[in-house]
Structure 1
C-alpha cells in the first residue's frame, strides 16, 4: 500500500560536500524508531521529515525505513528536488494479541531466546528468518526519535514503555542504537529510571536537543558523558511548501499594515491533560488564558488572530487542536470574531509551516508549532507545560520568550506576551543570526 501524505512533499538536499571517513563504510540502510506519519500529531511528522531530510542531505542514496506501531505496513511516497523516493513503514503491533508475528512482546521474547543460542552463525540464521528482526539487525544505522518527548514518564509509565520496547529490541538483536535529538526525561519513578538507564547505557551515541536532558542522562549514567552531544531539534530543517491554491483567501487579501498573530491552541491542555484534571499542574485556567489573550491582542494591537492546529482530528477527538480551535472561535464574542480565523482544512507539516510563515508573531502551546515559526525567523512565544520548551528555545537564545504556565497566572501571561510582542523586530533580527547555524548543524548530523 502506497500512502501519499496530505501534501505529498518532502524535500531533500543534494550532497556536494559529503564527507565519509576513509575507514568507515558508507551507510546504506537506516532505520528510524518512534518516527511516524500514522499519528495525527504534526509535530511528530515534522520531526520525521526533519530526520529524513538530514539523512538524505548526507547520504543521497540511502534507504530509510521507519519502524513503529501500526496495523499495517505502508510505503510513503516522498517527493524531493531531484525526483521521488519511497520510505517504508515496518509496522509493529502493541497489542494483547500476542500471537501476531509482529507483536512487540513476541518479538522481544524471540530475540531473548535467540540471544541465548551460543553460536553466532546460528543466531544470525534465526534472525534472518524473521522479517521484523532482520530489518533492525541488518540496518547500518538505527536511530530513535521516540516522538520527540516521549522518552520520559511525563505522560505516564505506559507511554515510556511503549516507546522503549523497540529500542530494547534493537539491543537484543545485537545492533547499535543512536538516540537522536530529543527531550530525555524527566524520569520520576524508579521503574522509569531503570528503563531509561538500561537503554541509555547501551546506546552508541546520545543526542539531546536541550542541555537539561544532557544533565539528566549524565546523572542516570553516574557522570559518564563520553557518548553525549547536543544537537538542535531536527524539525528546524523542515521545508515550508504550499501551493497557491491552498492559501486561504482571507490571508491573501489581508492588509499588510495589520499584524497577523499565529496562535496554536493545544487540545491536550484545553481538555486538562489525559486525566482531564489539570494533569500538568497549570497555575491558571488554560481556556480563560486563551480567551483573554485573544481579546487583549485584538483590542490593544488590532491584530488578526490565525488559530493554527498542530494535532489534527475531528471534534470527536478531545485531544484535537482543531476541535479546541473551533470551540474557542464559537465562544468568542461576535465583535472579536471578525479578527479571528481558524485553519480548519487539513494541511500536512510542510503546508502548515508555510501558513505559519505568514505570521508576524506567533504564540503556541505545541512546541513544534513554535519551531515552525522560529525556524522561519518569526518571533514566537511558547506557552509551556513542560521543560522541553525552555530547553529548545534556549538552544537558539530565545529562552526569555517561554512562559511557563505552571508558574505564571493569566495576568502575568498577558503582560509577558505583550512585552515580547513589542520587541518582535529586535527578536526577529536575533533569529536571523541564529537559525542558519541551527539548520546547518541538523543537516550535518549524519555526517558526524
Structure 2
C-alpha cells in the first residue's frame, strides 16, 4: 500500500521575508527535511505559514504550500488550529532569535499563541535550532518554561542558548547550530586570473540609522557609519588592489518602511565612494549566498550574511551588535567576531585589517569550524528523522 505524504507545518518561518536571513532559515529547514524524506523513503507535504505579503515566495517547490496567516486565522478554530491538527509535525524556528522578550510583548505573545495552539492540537512541536532567551519578565519566563516542557524536541543553535534552555528547565536540549549552514547555493561566477582581491562589506541599514529608534538601543560603543566609511577608504587604497563590494542582506521593497533597508544604505555609499561595486538587490537568500561565495574576504553586521560567507568558505569577520553572533560562531570555535557593543572603532578596524592580511589562515579556521557546525546540525536532523520515521 502506498503511504501518504508526511504533512509538516513550519511556523515562525518565512518564505518571502525582506530579511534574507529569515528566509535562509526557511530554505535551509526545507533542505534538511527533504534530506530526511529521501533517507526514510517518504514524500513530504511542507506547509509554510507566512504573514500576509504581496511579495512572491522565494522558497518554492512541488512539495511546498504557503498559507497566509494573520490575526483572524490565528484565532479561528478552522484556521491555524485546524492546520496544526492535520499535520504530522509542526516545526517552529522562532524567526531565528525571536524566542525572547527583548523585542517587545506583541511579537512574543503571537509566538506563544501559535505554540500553545499546537500543543492543544496534539501534534508534536519541534523547536528548531534558534536563540533561546533572554527572558526578563515573570510571565514570559513561565510561558517559555511550560512550552519547552511540552515540545517533542528543543534544539538550540549555540552554547549560550543551550544553557538558557536548561536554566528554564529543559534538560535534554540538542545543541545544534544555525540551519543556514545548509543553505543551498550555486557556484559563483568564474574568476579571472590576476583579477582584483574582492572584499565584501555587508552594510546594515539598521545600524547606519542608529537602530530601530535612532537612539542606539543596541548600545554600540563606536560610530558604525564612520567605521564603515573608514573601512571602504582603507580597502580602496590597499596596495593589493582591492575591489570593494557593498552587499545588502535585508532588502526592503519600495513603498515599505525603509529603516532596516541595507540596499538603500549600500546605494548611498556606492555613490559616495566611486569604484565600489554595488551588489544586486537579491531575489532570494541562495542568490545572495552565491554572490558572497565569489568574494575573497568578507565582513558584515547582518549575522546571516556572515553565515553565508562562513558556510561557503569565505574568510569572514562578523561585526556583532548582539550576543547571538558570539553565541553561534564561538560555539563552533570560530573566534574572529568583533564586538561593536564593547570595542572601539579603532580596535575593530585593527582586527579586520589583521584578518584581511591573514585571510589564508582564517579560511582554514573557517573550514574546521564549519565541519563542526555541520556535525552538530546532524544531531538535529537525526532527531527529525526519528520522529518522522515513527509517523
- Whether the TM-score (by the shorter chain) exceeds 0.5 is yes
Give 1:73 deviation, angstroms: 12
User: 3-state SS of the aligned residue for 2:313?
Assistant: coil
Q: Quick check: 1:33–1:144 contact (8 Å CA) kept in 2?
A: yes
1:29-63 CA-partner distances (Å, limit 9, x unpaired): 11111111232111111110100000000113111
The whole-number CA distance in structure 2 between the counterparts of 1:323 and 1:75 is 22
Give 1:216 deviation, angstroms: 0.8
Instruction: Give the corresponding residue for 2:244.
Output: 305
Give 1:318 deviation, angstroms: 1.8
The whole-number CA distance in structure 1 between the counterparts of 2:59 and 2:136 is 40
Instruction: Give the corresponding residue for 1:320.
Output: 261
1:283-338 CA-partner distances (Å, limit 9, x unpaired): 01211111111112222354211111111124761211101111222333xxxx22
Q: Is 1:280 the counterpart of 2:214 in the alignment?
A: no
Q: Quick check: 2:101–2:135 contact (8 Å CA) kept in 1?
A: yes
Q: Is 1:374 the counterpart of 2:310 in the alignment?
A: yes
The whole-number CA distance in structure 2 between the counterparts of 1:75 and 1:424 is 36
Instruction: Give the corresponding residue for 1:214.
Output: 162
Instruction: Give the corresponding residue for 1:91.
Output: 68
Instruction: Give the corresponding residue for 2:341.
Output: 406
Cα pair distance change 1:276/1:362, threshold 3 Å: same
Q: Quick check: 2:251–2:281 contact (8 Å CA) kept in 1?
A: no
User: 3-state SS of the aligned residue for 2:237?
Assistant: helix
Q: Quick check: 2:209–2:259 contact (8 Å CA) kept in 1?
A: yes
Q: Quick check: 1:47–1:235 contact (8 Å CA) kept in 2?
A: yes
Q: 1:112-127 alignment to 2 at 5 Å?
A: none
Note the aligned Cα RMSD (angstroms): 2.5
Q: 1:333-412 alignment to 2 at 5 Å?
A: 337-338=274-275, 340-398=276-334, 400-412=335-347
Q: Quick check: 1:236–1:375 contact (8 Å CA) kept in 2?
A: yes
Who wins on radius of gyration, i.e. which is larger? 1
Cα pair distance change 1:166/1:379, threshold 3 Å: same
Q: Quick check: 2:246–2:277 contact (8 Å CA) kept in 1?
A: yes
Instruction: Give the corresponding residue for 1:125.
Output: none
Instruction: Give the corresponding residue for 2:12.
Output: 34
Q: How many residues align?
A: 374
TM-score, normalised with respect to structure 1: 0.77
Cα pair distance change 1:418/1:171, threshold 3 Å: same
1:247-290 CA-partner distances (Å, limit 9, x unpaired): 6xxxx786745311111111111122211110100001211111
Instruction: Give the corresponding residue for 1:197.
Output: 145
Q: Quick check: 1:73–1:90 contact (8 Å CA) kept in 2?
A: no
More off after superposition, 34-43 vs 296-305: 296-305
User: 3-state SS of the aligned residue for 1:279?
Assistant: coil
Structure 2: runs of 5 or more not aligned: 387-391
Q: Quick check: 2:47–2:67 contact (8 Å CA) kept in 1?
A: yes
Instruction: Give the corresponding residue for 1:290.
Output: 228
Counterpart selection for 1:57 from 30, 35, 40: 35
More off after superposition, 159-168 vs 285-294: 159-168
More off after superposition, 142-151 vs 25-34: 25-34
TM-score, normalised with respect to structure 2: 0.88
User: 3-state SS of the aligned residue for 1:59?
Assistant: helix
Q: Is 1:416 the counterpart of 2:351 in the alignment?
A: yes
User: 3-state SS of the aligned residue for 2:129?
Assistant: coil
User: 3-state SS of the aligned residue for 1:30?
Assistant: strand
User: 3-state SS of the aligned residue for 1:283?
Assistant: coil
Instruction: Give the corresponding residue for 2:198.
Output: 260
The whole-number CA distance in structure 2 between the counterparts of 1:389 and 1:26 is 41
More off after superposition, 315-324 vs 364-373: 315-324
Counterpart selection for 2:174 from 226, 229, 233: 229
The whole-number CA distance in structure 2 between the counterparts of 1:360 and 1:75 is 30
Q: Is 1:148 the counterpart of 2:78 in the alignment?
A: no
The whole-number CA distance in structure 2 between the counterparts of 1:358 and 1:240 is 11
Structure 1: runs of 5 or more not aligned: 1-24, 80-84, 95-99, 111-129
1:167-189 CA-partner distances (Å, limit 9, x unpaired): 12211222221110011111223
Give 1:239 deviation, angstroms: 1.3
Q: Quick check: 1:315–1:322 contact (8 Å CA) kept in 2?
A: no
Cα pair distance change 1:345/1:73, threshold 3 Å: closer
Q: Quick check: 1:314–1:323 contact (8 Å CA) kept in 2?
A: no
The whole-number CA distance in structure 2 between the counterparts of 1:266 and 1:73 is 22
